[in-house]
C-alpha cells in the first residue's frame, strides 16, 4: 500500500485534506434551493462509499509496504472494525447537522463555527490519546483558531442584525455538529495500526479503516437521514419519491461532494503515520478557512456587509492562518 515517507509529504496531504474538506460544500450549494439537503445527502454518502472502495483497490493494494487491502480486511479483528464503523456513525450524525446549518446559515458561518469547534476539541482529544508534536505550538495554534471562531460568530451576528435576518437555529446546529465531529476521528484512529510499515495483527491499515468508516456512515444514514426527512429542521417532510425526482445533475453533485470529502478524509488518515493524529486532524480541519473563503468571495454570503463586519472577517482569516501555521510547525 502507499505510505508517505516524509513529514513534508504528510503535510502536503493534510493541505489536500484542508482544501477538500473546505470545498465539498460547494456541491450542495450548486444543487440550488430546489434540491433539499436531505435529498442531496443520500448521494453524498454514496460518493463516500464508492471512493473508499476505489482507494482500497488502488493505492491500498499497490506497493510493498504494509498489508494489501483485501488481506487486511480478512485479518481484521471485530472490535477494530466496530471502532472504525462507530467513527462513521458519529461523523454522519455531526455532518448531517453541519449540512443543515450550512443550508440555513451559509458556508461562511456553519464551517467556521462548527468545524472550528471540532478542530479545537478534536486536536485536544487526539493529542491526549496520541501525543505527537510540540504541545506549546499545537495548543497555541488551537487557541488562535478559537479566537477566529469567536470573531466569525460576532461578524455573523452584526451582519444578520443589520439585515434583520439572524438564524439562531443555524448557530445552534453548527455548535452541535462541531461537538460531535470532534469525537469521530479518535474512534477511527483507535482501530488503526501504530506502524503503517509493519502493521500489527488484528488492527486496520489506513485504507481498511476508511472503508469500514464509510460503511458506518452508510448504515447510519438509513436512520439519521430518514428521520430528518420525516421531521425536517425546515420545510415540509420528504419521501423517497422526492429523491427519485432529482435530476442527473443533482445526483451527480451529491456523489461528487462525497468523493471530494473522502479524498480529504483519506489523505488525513494516510498522513497521520508521519504527522500524528492531532496535527493531521487539526491541519485538515483548517478547511474552515477554505469554506469561509468560498462563502465570502464566491457565494457572497456577507454581501453588503458594513466596514466593521468586513474588518472582523479579515481578522478571522488572519487568526486562522496564524493558528494553522503553528499547527504545521508543531510537528517539525
- Pair 301, 106: CB distance under 8 Å: yes
d(CA 37, CA 44): 10
Q: Are 170 and 108 in contact (CB under 8 A)?
A: no
Cβ atoms of 34 and 275 closer than 8 Å: no
Q: Is the distance from CB of 67 to CB of 75 less than 8 angstroms?
A: yes
Reference 330, options 188, 113, 114, 126; nearest CA is 126
pLDDT number for residue 167: 59
The span from the CA of 181 to the CA of 289, in Å, is: 17
Residue with cell 476521528: 185
Give the per-residue pLDDT at 93: 95
pLDDT for 166: 52
Task: Check: CB of residue 204 under 8 Å from CB of residue 81.
Answer: yes
How many angstroms separate the first and last alpha carbons of the chain? Answer: 25
Helix, strand, coil percentages, rounded to 5, for the chain:
80, 0, 20
What grid cell was written down for 59?
493505492
Beta carbons within 8 Å of 115's beta carbon, 6+ residues apart: 21, 98, 178, 181, 285, 287, 288, 291
Helix, strand counts (H, E) of the chain: 15, 0
For 192, the 3-state DSSP assignment is: strand
Residue-level pLDDT at 322: 92
Buried b (16+ CB within 10 A) or exposed e, 184-212: bbbbbbbbbbeebeebeeebbbbbbbbbb
Residue 322: HSE in the Cβ half-sphere, 13 Å Cα cutoff: 13
Positions of the chain with pLDDT lower than 70, given as ranges: 107-108, 161-167, 332
Of all helices (H) and strands (E), which one includes residue 295? none
Strands (E), 73-187: none
Measured between alpha carbons, how far is residue 101 from residues 65, 69, 304 in Å? 41, 36, 22
For residue 73, give Cα distances in angstroms to 3, 45, 68, 97, 195. 18, 21, 9, 31, 17
245 by Cβ neighbours in 10 Å (0-12 / 13-18 / 19+) ranks as exposed
**pTM for the predicted model, two decimal places:** 0.86
Nearest of 149, 97, 123 to residue 14 by alpha carbon: 123
Amino acid at each position: 500500500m502507499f505510505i508517505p515517507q516524509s513529514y513534508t509529504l504528510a503535510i502536503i496531504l493534510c493541505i489536500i485534506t484542508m482544501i477538500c474538506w473546505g470545498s465539498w460544500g460547494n456541491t450542495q450549494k450548486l444543487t440550488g434551493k430546489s434540491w433539499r439537503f436531505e435529498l442531496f445527502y443520500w448521494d453524498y454518502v454514496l460518493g463516500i462509499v464508492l471512493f473508499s472502495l476505489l482507494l482500497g483497490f488502488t493505492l491500498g493494494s499497490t506497493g510493498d509496504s504494509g498489508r494489501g487491502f483485501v488481506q487486511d480486511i480478512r485479518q481484521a479483528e471485530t472490535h477494530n472494525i466496530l471502532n472504525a464503523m462507530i467513527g462513521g456513525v458519529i461523523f454522519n450524525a455531526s455532518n448531517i447537522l453541519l449540512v443543515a446549518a450550512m443550508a440555513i446559515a451559509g458556508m461562511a458561518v456553519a464551517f467556521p463555527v462548527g468545524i472550528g469547534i471540532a478542530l479545537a476539541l478534536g486536536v485536544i482529544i487526539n493529542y491526549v490519546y496520541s501525543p505527537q508534536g510540540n504541545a506549546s505550538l499545537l495548543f497555541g495554534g488551537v487557541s488562535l483558531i478559537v479566537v477566529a471562531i469567536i470573531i466569525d460568530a460576532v461578524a455573523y451576528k452584526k451582519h444578520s442584525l443589520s439585515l434583520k435576518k439572524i438564524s439562531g437555529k443555524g448557530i445552534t446546529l453548527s455548535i452541535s455538529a462541531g461537538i460531535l465531529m470532534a469525537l469521530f476521528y479518535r474512534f477511527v484512529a483507535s482501530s488503526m495500526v501504530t506502524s503503517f510499515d509493519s502493521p500489527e495483527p488484528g488492527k486496520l491499515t489506513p485504507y481498511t479503516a476508511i472503508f469500514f468508516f464509510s460503511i458506518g456512515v452508510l448504515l447510519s444514514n438509513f436512520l439519521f437521514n430518514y428521520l430528518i426527512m420525516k421531521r425536517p429542521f425546515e420545510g415540509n417532510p420528504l419521501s423517497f419519491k422526492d429523491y427519485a425526482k432529482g435530476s442527473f445533475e443533482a445526483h451527480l453533485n451529491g456523489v461528487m461532494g462525497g468523493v471530494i470529502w473522502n479524498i480529504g478524509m483519506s489523505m488525513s488518515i494516510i498522513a497521520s503515520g508521519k504527522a500524528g493524529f492531532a496535527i493531521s486532524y487539526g491541519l485538515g480541519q483548517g478547511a474552515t478557512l477554505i469554506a469561509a473563503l468560498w462563502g465570502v468571495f464566491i457565494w457572497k454570503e456577507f454581501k453588503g456587509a458594513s466596514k466593521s463586519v468586513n474588518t472582523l472577517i479579515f481578522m478571522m482569516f488572519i487568526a486562522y492562518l496564524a493558528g494553522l501555521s503553528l499547527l504545521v510547525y508543531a510537528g517539525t
